[in-house]
Amino acid sequence: MDIIRLVRSAASLTFVLMIAAAGPAAHAAESAGLIGFTAEAAKQQRRLEADYRAKLSAEDQSQWSEQLTASAHHAGSAQTRRNVELIAAAFREWGFDVAIEEFDILLPVPLERSLELLAPTTYKALLEEDIVDGDASSAERDAVLPSYNAFSPDGDVTAELVFVNYGIPEDYEVLERYGIDVTGKIVIAKYGKSWRGIKPKLAGEHGAIGALLYSDPADDGYAKGDVYPVGAFKNASGVQRGSVMDMPLYPGDVLTPGKPAIKGTRRLSLDKAPTIANVPVLPISYRDAEPLLAALGGEVVPTQWHGALPITYHIGPGPAKVRLKLAFDWQRITIQNVIARLRGSEYPDEWVIRGNHHDGWNHGAADPISGMVALMSEAKAVGELAQAGQRPKRSLIYAAWDAEEPGLIGSTEWVEKHLKELDAKAVAYINTDGNGRGFASVGGSHTLEAFFDEVLNSVSDPQTLVSVAERLRAAIAVNGTPERRKDMESRETLRIAPLGSGSDYTPFLQHAGIASANLGFGGESAHGSYHTLYDTFEHFVRFRDPGFQYGVALADMAGTATLRLANAEVLPFRFAGLVDNLQLYLKEIEELAGKQREDAERINKLLREDSYALALDPQKPFGPPGAKKAVPHFNFAGLKNAVATVATAATRLDAVLQPGSIAPAVLEQVNRELYRSERTLTAEEGLPGRQWYRHQIYAPGFYTGYGVKTLPRVREAIEAELYDQVDGEIETTAAILRGFAAHLESITALLVSG
Amino acid sequence: MDIIRLVRSAASLTFVLMIAAAGPAAHAAESAGLIGFTAEAAKQQRRLEADYRAKLSAEDQSQWSEQLTASAHHAGSAQTRRNVELIAAAFREWGFDVAIEEFDILLPVPLERSLELLAPTTYKALLEEDIVDGDASSAERDAVLPSYNAFSPDGDVTAELVFVNYGIPEDYEVLERYGIDVTGKIVIAKYGKSWRGIKPKLAGEHGAIGALLYSDPADDGYAKGDVYPVGAFKNASGVQRGSVMDMPLYPGDVLTPGKPAIKGTRRLSLDKAPTIANVPVLPISYRDAEPLLAALGGEVVPTQWHGALPITYHIGPGPAKVRLKLAFDWQRITIQNVIARLRGSEYPDEWVIRGNHHDGWNHGAADPISGMVALMSEAKAVGELAQAGQRPKRSLIYAAWDAEEPGLIGSTEWVEKHLKELDAKAVAYINTDGNGRGFASVGGSHTLEAFFDEVLNSVSDPQTLVSVAERLRAAIAVNGTPERRKDMESRETLRIAPLGSGSDYTPFLQHAGIASANLGFGGESAHGSYHTLYDTFEHFVRFRDPGFQYGVALADMAGTATLRLANAEVLPFRFAGLVDNLQLYLKEIEELAGKQREDAERINKLLREDSYALALDPQKPFGPPGAKKAVPHFNFAGLKNAVATVATAATRLDAVLQPGSIAPAVLEQVNRELYRSERTLTAEEGLPGRQWYRHQIYAPGFYTGYGVKTLPRVREAIEAELYDQVDGEIETTAAILRGFAAHLESITALLVSG
């Protein structure tokens, strides 16, 4: 037992003793037991969890994985139909009411893909992944999707090439200092540092007429480790597929924003669909990228831009000239979500929703089947317990989403279709997706932060046999930055990450305002197969989670959370954690503004004093940056006051949320208002320029894609230098928080009066 | 004109006005003029400098460079004899008394070099640099030295290979955590991060039986820029030669430590010479390194160890097995320093010494000829001025050192031979070496910091036409870290770097205690040719200093410094700058101890709590670090008090060092005691374990080689975890500083009484 554990146990012990001296209070029960359960109910719940855990089987997961990854199973494929039947049949067998909910969505697939280097040398890109020894799946050709970026437009473009590093905003600032304009050019960008869809979006915004994406071996290839099939990492032929739909605007079917893609919904015409990428874009292997990059002239790249190919990287433009030709079948396909319901014994109209997508890019053994089989493990055990009389109090919905890969389509359409009912009934949504060996990872709504800390403390790590919380704490203690370590030591619970985007929680959290979480394991499983032809069962069992022990751990973690949410007397929403995180975000944003102001002042001063002209090499074309907009001081007071108001309300409410002490007459209403509290963090009008995103605390970044932006109105206004809008966005956000605080106060009033 | 300049000018103006109001004082003259000169003398000196500057010729430098680099001119070569004659004749022509001072030294040259990969594949290393287009010098074969490390022992070793990254102490700590022992193995290390001699030294100390060194293309090759001859950087065949003599123990002839290598000096037997490397070592190209590295198995290296070869780097040991066979001719050769004297008109027994080495590894156009021709430019102009009646007041000695490359041999033997006379007469030593386009760089004794700031403000940058000081300040303002910028803004003068080792200032500064400086330009000249076959005139004029404009700037900077030292009425030693730097070093060392203590406590706590076992991947052989020695608190009070004592003495002395106000009777004695003040910073017993290094403020690091360690007794005792010695080293260093302060007080007493 380590010292941290000793200290923490000792603290709990003291606390228990103090309470014991004061008599068996409900508060003590909660502290010693589980949030939302009386002491007695907590004991019962823990027994249930032990029964549950005993039913989880790695062997099951391995068998299902082998079946589900037998062939490529992208949305619309034959294997997907088979998988949907298999999953639906299994759920039925385990006692669930199963529906297959279908949507008709737009999903382009390639008809023609060609890429040629025309000058100064010639090369025709292979655009083909190798068959490798020991991986029979990699030999499959007919059923697999070739490498492409879904929602690239058709195009036939010929132009000089420009290397734009990762193709993110700061890279274009560097290009500007080199005097390089990508207008009329085709850009080639490395994968990484942002979600891929940002790269063609920015390229188009800067005037480029096409984009190539590739994984540099520095980031994902031989410089990271031995390549497949010797090791896990991306070999010279591997290509990361993926959607480039403009998901930060809205995810889901591109033709039916905000509405379900079903009969009767009016669809946009294809040329009006705003989330289709604005330039043709194709992902390629580093084998295909190398001759193109080697043919570039112009300036040598800045040191940090260099990759691991054995060449000197140049920026261009030209003399490399390429022709990129892409044509797609803009087909409408039917996608199928499997929705399995288990009616709650006491609160059937309160829904705890669990989901994982079932579609992959090809065989998808890691992404998404490793998460899918963990969800199936969980559903099987929960179903069997229910059949044996241990039915959860609230209704459970287990969902297997289709068409996540092209743009969270299955989950988004489903949420859009059931929005009203979800608004009333959804308690929480727990998502999983690809899984691997390593450390627990929890992102989610901070109203559930304390709850998930308890879950992390209840789940054992299969390799070290301590709780996954303890393993996480050790990892932070050993590898964390001093700031991270200090932060950990200053808090009772582990900090959970805010959610941006990248999986099916997005429509639940950011559109419907349902408290959500995303759970998984990783960090000790090698990457490299992501969205390639090599995300196969063969690769998975060698490099990701041999023996599916972390598949079982994930089922344990997600199932424990699901069953506690399902059975808690008082739902485990607690608000101190949210307050603490809001304070952190506010501090970050103030620091961001301060840093931006300081940088602008410094750069403008250096420009005025002509320091760049003296400091920069006069023989190089790298010039000074442009003058910066002066950054005014913003009035953060409204937001600070609002957070303080939330803090007061949270303290009052958390103190009275005592199971066993709430009058049955108000209990159901209290629980409903607890889970509906997340709804009050949303606004009907959404975020500026993107109405679909309603959550006012968490959003994917408009220019990061997956990366989260907390308090997005304020943060993104500052980042985008829209300084005259900042005070307004502060007030809008503050009003949301005041509304949230009022909602909490109304629950407290219910409890105090009740 | 920039704002900083405006502010500084305004400040000077105010100061001048204040002084003017108080009457024309000597102090005002110094502030408005030059340190150590009266106002009138400063005007005269500036006129002299203008005459001097007008005589500097880029054309001269280009011609000399072409002549001196006509063939390879390593110590002992035919071209070196020709160069010595050319240089000596030129000095004579310019009016100098020229002596060629010879020493007989040991200098091994290769008889046999072979390296073979024996398993699991085979490869015979080429050990040969390519002839490249457009560089006729690269075709020379007979006269050139092949690539080798001078002072490697003979050897014929066969063993498994281990990749040790840069082969520096922290790399061996990482290897230990992997459980990898290099005993009985041959290591392969990248060049970089330390002086090269440290690598075989550490390899041997860890039990290895041989070492290979190579330049990874990530550090010096295609990942840095286009390779030669397209660009300047190291091509696949290029090899960095260089000495691996254990210079941190003592430089110079390995057989005559501390004594001149002349007739009558007793020489060590070869097997007793402690500075010969302890294992056979050979430098190779990245073309030769690649098959060896590709043949390594074992664990994949940590991410930061990865280089830019297109392979996955592994640590080994084996299965790669290599045979390294080296045999040398352990010849005694005669080396020749050219010593040119210009007798001072007033103080012939006060010597200002200027030096640059003349030997190269091959053609040596950058290293050392670019510095050598600047020195010749300077000597020519000074000589002509003297012939025209403007003879410097103090004697000047211009030295062209031989055998710097194998181990600072020419300069070291000369200093050892003339130690007593130098002790009495040497005012200062100013060194130059390789030069290039870019920013001024000054390292040196901080008793001359204010003086060199004045020099930097007097020399124009040829590209931007502002002073080189202003350009440096702009570069720090634009590119410096926040700490560096803040430091600059907090000081009147630019901070000069302390000197470690790496060129001929070492025997002057660190053995003889002569205030020294090392001057050069760089930062905009491409690297890659260093110590290869490609350090040619052809390469130099394309990539290092086209048009020799920075050669002229270097002659300007070094000559201005030399002439001011030669003519100042009161020598320009001032002590406030040293105090400020001593305070900085003391702070650094306290922080070092604090950091080491904190790290030790943290690591030991993590070990006690078993956190590593939880945080590290149980499937990888990377284990926890070893337990750390607890770091006691040290008593820095003695050193702080000593620095305070120096500060008091410095303030008092600086205030009375007014030219024009010192009685002629004591002036000569004051000047002598001023320049001899640096001697009082040395100790006869040297540093622990290395008596040759006498300076107690500056030393090359025992495990960095070139990298400086300030207050070395204390700093290195802490770094080496010799905690029980630290308080003693603090007291030893404090005693030195108290002696220095007493010396300053004695000068003040002379002035006040005189």
A600-612 tens-digit pLDDT: 999 999 999 999 9
Tell me the pLDDT band of A706, cut-offs 50, 70 and 90: confident
Tell me which amino acid residue A307 is: G
Interface touch B309/A306, C-beta < 8 Å: no
Task: Find chain B residues with C-beta within 8 A of A223's C-beta.
Answer: 306, 312
- Which CATH number characterizes residue B513's domain? 3.40.630.10
Q: Which two tokens stand for residue B647?
A: 């500060």
Closest approach of chain B CAs to the CA of A119, in angstroms?
20
Query: What is the DSSP code string of B481-525?
Result: -HHHHHHHHH-SSPPPBPP-SSSTHHIIIIIT---EEEEEEEESS
Residues B90 and B156 placed together within one structural domain of the fold: no
Q: What per-residue confidence (pLDDT) applies to B754?
A: 52
Look at residues A310, A332, A354 and tell me which one is the last residue of a structural domain: A332
Closest B-chain CA to A227: B312
Interface touch B478/A3, C-beta < 8 Å: no
Task: Find chain A residues with C-beta within 8 A of B610's C-beta.
Answer: 2, 474
CA separation (Å) from A694 to A507, A688, B374, B388? Answer: 10, 10, 69, 86
Which H or E run contains B102? strand B97-119
How far is A219 from A304, CA to CA, in rounded Å? 12
Number of domains in chain B: 3
Task: Find chain A residues with C-beta within 8 A of B231's C-beta.
Answer: 300, 312
* Beta-carbon-side half-sphere exposure of residue A177 (alpha carbons within 13 Å): 17
Q: Is the pLDDT of residue B493 over 50?
A: yes
Tell me the pLDDT band of B40, cut-offs 50, 70 and 90: very high
Residues B249 and B363 placed together within one structural domain of the fold: no
Closest approach of chain B CAs to the CA of A530, in angstroms?
19
Q: Residue B228 forms beta bridges with which residues?
A: none
Determine if residue A161 is left, alpha or beta; phi over 0 gives left, psi from -120 to 50 gives alpha, anything else beta. beta
Task: Find chain B residues with C-beta within 8 A of A474's C-beta.
Answer: 609-615
For residue B129, is it within any domain? Answer: yes
How far is A559 from A554, CA to CA, in rounded Å? 8
Of B308, B312, B475, the CB nearest to A615: B475
* Beta-carbon-side half-sphere exposure of residue B223 (alpha carbons within 13 Å): 21
Residues 6+ apart with CB under 8 A from A295: A117, A119, A120, A121, A123, A161, A319, A320
Look at residues B550, B567, B584 and tell me which one is the last residue of a structural domain: B567
How far is B23 from B19, CA to CA, in rounded Å? 6
- pLDDT per position as a tens digit, B652-695: 999 999 999 999 999 999 999 999 999 999 999 999 999 999 99
The mean pLDDT of chain B is 94
Of B334, B168, B147, residue with least CA distance to B242: B147
Q: What per-residue confidence (pLDDT) applies to B703?
A: 86
How far is A445 from A503, CA to CA, in rounded Å? 15
Q: Which two tokens stand for residue B203?
A: 């390899």
Token pair 């390089």 is found at: A180
Q: What per-residue confidence (pLDDT) applies to B32?
A: 52
Closest approach of chain B CAs to the CA of A431, in angstroms?
25
For residue B523, is it within any domain? Answer: yes
Q: Which two tokens stand for residue B630?
A: 């607890």
Interface touch B463/A618, C-beta < 8 Å: yes
Closest B-chain CA to A605: B3
For residue B626, is it within any domain? Answer: yes
Which H or E run contains A198? helix A198-205
CB B159 within 8 A of CB B321: yes
Largest CA distance in chain B: 86
* Domain, as residue range, for A312: 108-332
CB A226 within 8 A of CB A176: no
Residues B656 and B728 placed together within one structural domain of the fold: yes
Of B2, B224, B227, the CB nearest to A611: B2
Top residue of A293, A614, A617 to mutate, by most chain B CBs within 10 Å, is A614
Q: What per-residue confidence (pLDDT) applies to B120?
A: 97
Residues B253 and B210 placed together within one structural domain of the fold: yes
Residues B94 and B145 placed together within one structural domain of the fold: no
Cβ atoms within 10 Å, residue B598: 12
Residues B128 and B238 placed together within one structural domain of the fold: yes
Q: Which two tokens stand for residue A588?
A: 């970050």
Of A309, A478, A618, the CB nearest to B615: A478
How far is A496 from A518, CA to CA, in rounded Å? 10
φ, ψ of residue B470 in degrees (nearest 5): -65, -40
Of A222, A303, A474, the CB nearest to B312: A222
Task: Find chain A residues with C-beta within 8 A of B7's C-beta.
Answer: none
Interface touch A609/B4, C-beta < 8 Å: yes
Tell me which amino acid residue B649 is: A
- Residue A564 CA to chain centroid, in angstroms? 23
Q: What per-residue confidence (pLDDT) applies to B509?
A: 98
CB A542 within 8 A of CB A135: no
Task: Work out the angle between the directed axes of helices A39-54 and A371-387 (0-180°, nearest 10).
Answer: 120
How far is B164 from B324, CA to CA, in rounded Å? 17
- pLDDT per position as a tens digit, B405-454: 999 999 999 999 999 999 999 999 999 999 999 999 999 999 999 999 99
Which H or E run contains A190? strand A186-190
Q: What per-residue confidence (pLDDT) applies to B10?
A: 34
Closest approach of chain A CAs to the CA of B110, in angstroms?
32
Q: What per-residue confidence (pLDDT) applies to A753?
A: 78
Interface touch B614/A217, C-beta < 8 Å: no
Of B392, B343, B348, B401, residue with least CA distance to B371: B401
Look at residues B268, B299, B332 and tell me which one is the last residue of a structural domain: B332
Q: What per-residue confidence (pLDDT) applies to B380?
A: 98
Of B449, B429, B442, residue with least CA distance to B679: B429
- pLDDT per position as a tens digit, B123-148: 999 999 999 999 999 999 989 999 99
CA separation (Å) from A687 to A230, A506, B144? Answer: 47, 14, 71
CB A332 within 8 A of CB A253: no
How far is A144 from A72, CA to CA, in rounded Å? 5
Residues B617 and B536 placed together within one structural domain of the fold: no
Average pLDDT over residues A34-63: 97
Of B225, B300, B474, the CB nearest to A312: B225
Q: Collapse the DSSP code of B685 into the 3-class scheme (helix H, G, I; strand E, B; otherwise coil) and give the result.
A: coil
Residues B527 and B587 placed together within one structural domain of the fold: no
Task: Find chain A residues with C-beta within 8 A of B299's C-beta.
Answer: none
CA separation (Å) from A81 to A87, A399, A643, B18? Answer: 10, 16, 49, 92
Q: Strand A708-710 vs strand A698-700: parallel, antiparallel, or unpaired?
A: antiparallel
Q: Which two tokens stand for residue B571?
A: 């020598």
How far is B635 from A637, CA to CA, in rounded Å? 48
Token pair 């009685």 is found at: B663
Residues B345 and B327 placed together within one structural domain of the fold: no
Q: Is the pLDDT of residue B309 over 70?
A: yes
Task: Find chain B residues with C-beta within 8 A of A236's C-beta.
Answer: none
Q: What per-residue confidence (pLDDT) applies to B423?
A: 98
Query: What is the DSSP code string of A706-747?
Result: TSEEESHHHHHHHHTT-HHHHHHHHHHHHHHHHHHHHHHHHH
Cβ atoms within 10 Å, residue B417: 18
How far is B352 from B395, CA to CA, in rounded Å? 6
- Which CATH number characterizes residue A655's domain? 1.20.930.40
Tell me which amino acid residue B217 is: P
Residues B381 and B278 placed together within one structural domain of the fold: no
End-to-end CA distance of chain B: 44
Q: What per-residue confidence (pLDDT) applies to B527?
A: 80
- pLDDT per position as a tens digit, A392-413: 999 999 999 999 999 999 999 9
Q: Is the pLDDT of residue A489 over 50?
A: yes
Could you tell me how many residues make up chain B? 754
Pick A15 or B419 by higher pLDDT. B419
Closest approach of chain A CAs to the CA of B752, in angstroms?
45
Quote helix, strand, coil % in chain A, to nearest 5: 45, 20, 40
- Which CATH number characterizes residue A234's domain? 3.50.30.30
For residue A76, is it within any domain? Answer: no
- CA angle in degrees (0–180, nearest 5) for A213-A215-A219: 140
Q: What per-residue confidence (pLDDT) applies to A754?
A: 52
Closest approach of chain A CAs to the CA of B614, in angstroms?
5
Q: Strand A394-401 vs strand A347-357: parallel, antiparallel, or unpaired?
A: parallel
Of A80, A71, A82, residue with least CA distance to A137: A71
Which H or E run contains B676? helix B664-676
Q: Which two tokens stand for residue B308?
A: 């830019």
Q: Collapse the DSSP code of A302 into the 3-class scheme (helix H, G, I; strand E, B; otherwise coil) and give the result.
A: coil
Cβ atoms within 10 Å, residue B587: 10
Task: Find chain A residues with C-beta within 8 A of B312's C-beta.
Answer: 222-227, 231, 233
CB A524 within 8 A of CB A411: no
Buried-exposed string B434-446: b where 16+ CB fall within 10 A, e elsewhere: bbbbbbbbbbbbb
φ, ψ of residue A431 in degrees (nearest 5): -105, 145
Residues B377 and B254 placed together within one structural domain of the fold: no
For residue A199, is it within any domain? Answer: yes
Interface touch A605/B3, C-beta < 8 Å: yes
Of A223-237, A662-676, B193-207, B701-715, the range with the lowest mean pLDDT is B701-715
Closest A-chain CA to B615: A475
Task: Find chain A residues with C-beta within 8 A of B306's C-beta.
Answer: 223, 308
Q: List strand residue ranges (DSSP E) for B206-280, in order.
A: 210-214, 242-243
- pLDDT per position as a tens digit, A409-454: 999 999 999 999 999 999 999 999 999 999 999 999 999 999 999 9
For residue A288, is it within any domain? Answer: yes
Q: Collapse the DSSP code of A17 into the 3-class scheme (helix H, G, I; strand E, B; otherwise coil) and give the result.
A: helix
Closest approach of chain B CAs to the CA of A361, in angstroms?
27
Interface touch B615/A474, C-beta < 8 Å: yes
Q: Strand A210-214 vs strand A186-190: parallel, antiparallel, or unpaired?
A: parallel
Task: Find chain A residues with C-beta within 8 A of B481's C-beta.
Answer: none
Average pLDDT over residues B568-579: 98
Average pLDDT over residues B259-285: 97
The mean pLDDT of chain A is 94
How far is A80 from A102, CA to CA, in rounded Å? 13
Cβ atoms within 10 Å, residue B685: 9
Task: Find chain A residues with C-beta within 8 A of B474's C-beta.
Answer: 609-615
Q: Is the pLDDT of residue A30 over 60?
A: no
Of B225, B226, B611, the CB nearest to A2: B611
- Residue B220 CA to chain centroid, in angstroms? 20
CA separation (Å) from A187 to A1, A208, A248, A306, B219? Answer: 55, 7, 22, 16, 27
How far is A368 from A358, CA to CA, in rounded Å? 6
Of A4, A464, A618, the CB nearest to B618: A464
Could you tell me how many residues make up chain A? 754
Interface touch B610/A2, C-beta < 8 Å: yes
Residues B448 and B558 placed together within one structural domain of the fold: yes
Average pLDDT over residues A661-675: 95
Tell me the pLDDT band of B3, cut-offs 50, 70 and 90: very low
How far is B717 from B720, CA to CA, in rounded Å? 5
Closest B-chain CA to A471: B614
Interface touch A478/B4, C-beta < 8 Å: no
Of B306, B471, B477, the CB nearest to A606: B477
Of A306, A478, A524, the CB nearest to B612: A478
- CA angle in degrees (0–180, nearest 5) for B141-B142-B145: 75
CA separation (Å) from A180 to A292, A315, A618? Answer: 18, 9, 17
Interface touch B615/A300, C-beta < 8 Å: no
Q: What per-residue confidence (pLDDT) applies to A703?
A: 86
Of B300, B471, B606, the CB nearest to A477: B606
Q: Is the pLDDT of residue B282 over 70?
A: yes
CB A736 within 8 A of CB A720: no
Q: Is the pLDDT of residue B508 over 50?
A: yes
Closest A-chain CA to B218: A308
For residue A416, is it within any domain? Answer: no
For residue A426, is it within any domain? Answer: no
CB B285 within 8 A of CB B217: no
Report how many Cβ contacts below 8 Å link chain A to chain B.
122
